[in-house]
Amino acid sequence: MLRIKRVPTVVSNYQKDEAGEAARQTGGCGRNCLKECCMQEARLPLYAFKRLPNFSGKDLSEHECREPPVAFLDSLLLGEWEDRSQRGLFRYDVTACETKVIPGEHGFIAQLNEGRHLKKRPTEFRVDKVLQPFDGNKFNFTKVGQEEILFQFEASDDGEVQFFPNAPIDVENSPSLVAINVSPIEYGHVLLIPRIFECLPQRIDRESFLLALHMAVEAGNPYFRVGYNSLGAFATINHLHFQAYYFTMPFPIEKAPTKKIATSNGGVKISGLLDYPVRGLVFEGGDTLEDLSNAVSDACICLQDNNIPYNVLISDCGRLIFLIPQCYAEKQALGEVSTELLDTQVNPAVWEISGHMVLKRKTDYDEASEVKAWKLLAEVSLSEDRFQEVTALIFEAIDASVEPAANPQSTEEKVKVRDSSHYPCLADGSQECLVLQ
């Protein structure tokens, strides 16, 4: 298990007077932000990844995750994240949060994170519209300090991985940036912000999703996951971004059995989750990485256009992608969620749906159980009938061929149980608690 250093908890990114004074000396607005006023002569590290046009889903499944030549995850992302921890840029010390595996068959994970509840930025937009225009007057990532940015993340021009420790920021071409999440859930919690200066609203497109998938592939570690929350599915900022963090054990959703139900034109296999409280689709394979990316992004675009909130988890070094349409915020608005669940103040976004339950009250953490976790996530799920309707919309949008119905006389079940052997930290069924310190 990776050992994590503790850092002092701070209330604000600008709490330290010396940091504020250093920013003022650079001119601009005094906050060393990413707007034009502070961008003169700004430079940041640049990681240029290798495009993989012929890197197929089969290649992904046949090769073990391995460290990239420049140690993208360990040396760059986590190293830079640790540096920002030492500088006191986070709103609280996430490494002090208690974490445990909840006893039970599925191994849900509970974390007590009171700081995120008290100090996280509130949502500033409607939750009943998946697509909303970008509003520059509200918080967006061009307003963050440059010290929160870890590096630029772009495709390489010459087809090879490159790293430049001090590269200029090409504002005209709107680079994609990786930044810390100042209200982290876990170690190494970062944000991927595609084409930041285009000020895109929180909506997936083909180009941005492929970028996120490349990030998972570059990390080359099954413990590093990339997630996405749409508006209406507990995204809190309407500026296009993905989240990612490092957590050293499998998520329950990753271990859930699945059943193949369709294949896309690009050879992407699409399965349905089984024995899991939230109904969802699992995408894997494909003739190329781009085929896999396009199938998922087109499915997301279909959901967006039909005003259906959803969450996405990119897992297993980019091999598996989970797409979960959800309706919890809608049920909240209609008064259909019990007081017991509302009192927990848990907003089930991608991490909670994946089985990493971020709890805000000590009593909920102490009394956490598999039954309670299942009950909360079951409220997130679409009904069976509604899920089938949404699935049909998706398959039409991505031109997927539905598998023929199984022969009822057949004793062979087309069910796949995930192999967790490449998650060596804890074996399935272990009730051991994690202590991150």
d(CA 264, CA 286): 8
Among the residue ranges 49-58, 66-75, 155-164, 229-238, the one predicted with the least confidence is: 49-58
Q: Is the pLDDT of residue 232 over 90?
A: yes
Percent of the chain with pLDDT over 90: 69
The pLDDT value recorded for residue 437 is 32
Model confidence band, residue 152 (pLDDT cutoffs 50, 70, 90): very high
Query: What pLDDT is recorded for position 22?
Result: 42
Statement: residue 77 has pLDDT above 60: yes
Band (pLDDT 50/70/90 cuts) for residue 341 is: very high
Range 216-232 average pLDDT: 96
**Which CATH number covers residue 57?**
3.30.428.70
**Count of CB atoms situated within 10 Å of the CB of 43:** 13
Q: What is the pLDDT of residues 240-297, one digit of tens each?
A: 999 999 999 999 999 999 999 999 999 999 999 999 999 999 999 999 999 999 999 9
**Token digits of residue 111:** 């974390």
Please spell the DSSP secondary structure of 152-174, one letter per residue: EEEE-SSSS-EEEEEEEP-GGG-
Is 282 within 8 Å of 320 (Cβ atoms)? yes
CB 249 within 8 A of CB 425: yes
Say whether pTM exceeds 0.85. yes
Closest CA to 81 of 213, 195, 244, 221: 244
pLDDT band at 70 (very low <50, low <70, confident <90, very high): low
DSSP structural state of residue 50 = P
Would you say residue 4 lies in a domain? no
* Token pair for 399: 């031109």
**Residue 313 above 70 pLDDT?**
yes
Active-site residue identified among 106, 189, 241, 356:
241
Please report the pLDDT score of residue 405 as a whole number.
61
Residue 355 within any structural domain of the chain: yes
In a domain, 19, yes or no: no
| pLDDT for the residue 123 | 63
Inter-residue long-range contacts of 192-198, CB under 8 Å, 24+ positions, other chains counted: 192/153, 192/226, 192/241, 192/242, 192/243, 192/244, 193/141, 193/239, 193/240, 193/241, 194/240, 194/241, 194/242, 195/240, 196/34, 196/141, 196/142, 197/34, 197/142, 197/171, 198/174
| pLDDT (0 to 100) of residue 114 | 85
Q: Pick 433 or 388 by higher pLDDT.
A: 388
Say what the pLDDT of residue 410 is: 45
pLDDT level of residue 218 (50, 70, 90 thresholds): very high
How far is it, in rounded angstroms, from Cα 266 to Cα 289?
Answer: 10
Count structural domains, the chain.
Answer: 1
Report the run of H or E that residue 191 belongs to, with start and end: strand 190-193
- Spatial distance between the Cα atoms of 29 and 46, rounded to a whole number of angstroms: 25
Answer yes or no: 117 catalytic: no
Per-residue pLDDT tens digits for 102-118? 999 999 999 999 866 55
Instruction: Count Cβ atoms within 10 A of the Cβ of residue 354 and give its class: 0-12 exposed, 13-18 middle, 19 or more buried.
Output: buried
| Cα–Cα distance, 372 to 348 (Å, whole number) | 13
Beta-sheet strands, E only, within 363-420: 400-402, 415-416
pLDDT of residue 325: 98
pLDDT 10s digits, 10-69: 333 433 333 344 433 445 676 788 887 787 778 899 999 987 655 544 454 444 444 444
Write down the pLDDT at residue 346: 94
- 161 lies in a domain? yes
Contact 225, 321 (CB under 8 A): no
360-372, pLDDT tens digit by residue? Answer: 999 999 999 999 9
Which residues have C-beta within 8 Å of that of residue 63, sequence separation ≥ 6? none
201: its two tokens:
């609203």
Q: What is the DSSP letter of 5?
A: -
- In three-state secondary structure terms, 359 is strand
8 Å CB contact between 242 and 192? yes
Please report whether residue 276 resides in a domain: yes
Q: Domain limits at 329?
A: 44-401
Specify the pairing of strand 356-359 against strand 109-112: parallel
Q: Is 180 within the bounds of a domain?
A: yes
Task: With respect to residue 35, please indicate whether it lies within any of the assigned structural domains.
Answer: no
pLDDT band of residue 406 (cuts 50, 70, 90) is low
Band the pLDDT of 157: cuts 50, 70, 90: confident
CA distance 428 to 233: 29
347 pLDDT higher than 50:
yes
Measured distance CA(39)–CA(171) in Å, rounded: 9
Helix, strand or coil, per DSSP, at residue 269: strand
* Domain presence at residue 396: yes
Q: Quote the mean pLDDT of the chain.
A: 84
Max CA separation in the chain (angstroms): 77
